[in-house]
Amino acid sequence: MTRTFRTAAVIGAGTIGLSWTALFAAHGLTVRVSDPRPDLAEAVDEALARSAPHLAARGLDVTDLAGRVHIAAGVTDAVRDADVVQENGPERIEFKQDLFATLAREAPGHALLLSSSSAIPSTEFTKELADDAAARVLIGHPFNPPHLVPLVEVVPGERTGEEAVKAAVDFYTSVGRTPVVERKEIPGFVGNRLQNALSREAVYLVEQGVVTPEELDTVMTNSLGLRWATVGPFLGSHLGGGPGGYRHMAEHIGASMKRMWADLGTPSQNDEQQERLIAAVEQAYGSATYPELTETRDRRQLAVLSALDSTDKEEN
């Protein structure tokens, strides 16, 4: 039986937590937010105002976002009647161990306990929990900003129950996300490992003086980023093989690909090199403010999502 989700608790109101808050509220959930930051109410108001136009552009009702969001007195208050809890705390095992012990104790027994952890598998921070508590804990890792980027990596722990996995998929689907269940735990999960692999080579190329940070971004947004946003790496390679598909690609350029893999660089990233890289990125993008850059990013992401929506409708 599909669960009904009416109330969500958001624990941790940094960039990710605030984005989740706006998304959940836009989908009609009552949202209770907890964070020790002294400016929590102001941060929530600003995030809702900033996110509302983007959510409206995705066809969501944003007329009363603030009316659906409540500032909780603390974690216990936030989770007291939650159907789902989305944790967004620091990437520290000890912190998450303590927090999830509290969540398991204070949240209703039916509540799904989800973590936005970007690197730590839930098995690592649920070792001290009883089996029935660990059974409803799993990773729901988004990409920034989660109110716009659809992917959520759903990663069960060793003791996560199958019913909780299904419920997590149902929940994220109900708020317009695209959940992908990963079959085994691995540090960093899938998305961040791919991102880190690409980032390592990007840093190496800049460090070697092949391109500047801005030129590398231009290469990506005008080639692989464009291609992968529509078909992904494997389908892209399959199509790159022509009528013979991925088999033709592997048989004809597989050897050169392996040589290139062996030649991929490892940046030194000593203090001097890291400072040069930071200075180069700041030179490329430092003239614009953070809000200006994020607004440009989000507007472009909306355009990509809208284009993908349109083509999907045409194909169906």
In a domain, 243, yes or no: no
Supply the pTM of this predicted model: 0.93
Could you tell me the residue range of the domain that residue 221 belongs to?
190-230+268-315
Q: Tell me, yes or no, whether 213 and 273 share the same domain.
A: yes
Rounded-to-integer distance, Cα 272 and Cα 304, Å: 37
Q: Tell me, yes or no, whether 278 and 163 share the same domain.
A: no
Q: Tell me, yes or no, whether 226 and 117 share the same domain.
A: no
Of 144, 164, 181, the last residue of a domain is 181
Q: Tell me, yes or no, whether 171 and 73 share the same domain.
A: yes
In a domain, 309, yes or no: yes
Query: Look-up: residue for tokens 């552009």?
Result: 57
- Which of 210, 197, 116 shows the shortest CA–CA distance to 155? 116
Q: Write b or e for each residue in 102-111: b if 16 or more Cβ atoms lie within 10 A of its Cβ, otherwise e.
A: ebbebbeeeb
Q: pLDDT in tens for each of the 316 residues of the chain? A: 578 999 999 999 999 999 999 999 999 999 999 999 999 999 999 999 999 999 999 999 999 999 999 999 999 999 999 999 999 999 999 999 999 999 999 999 999 999 999 999 999 999 999 999 999 999 999 999 999 999 999 999 999 999 999 999 999 999 999 999 999 999 999 999 999 999 999 999 999 999 999 999 999 999 999 999 999 999 999 999 999 999 998 888 888 888 988 999 999 878 999 999 999 999 999 999 999 999 999 999 999 999 988 887 777 6
Helix, strand, coil % over all residues of the chain, rounded to 5: 55, 10, 30
Q: Is the peptide bond before 145 cis (omega within 30 degrees of 0)?
A: yes
In a domain, 302, yes or no: yes
Q: Tell me, yes or no, whether 15 and 138 share the same domain.
A: yes
37 within 8 A of 43, measured Cβ to Cβ: yes
Total count of domains within the chain: 2
Q: Tell me, yes or no, whether 141 and 18 share the same domain.
A: yes
Q: Tell me, yes or no, whether 310 and 201 share the same domain.
A: yes
Residues annotated as part of the active site: 153
Rounded-to-integer distance, Cα 126 and Cα 97, Å: 6
In a domain, 147, yes or no: yes
In a domain, 258, yes or no: no
Q: Tell me, yes or no, whether 59 and 169 share the same domain.
A: yes
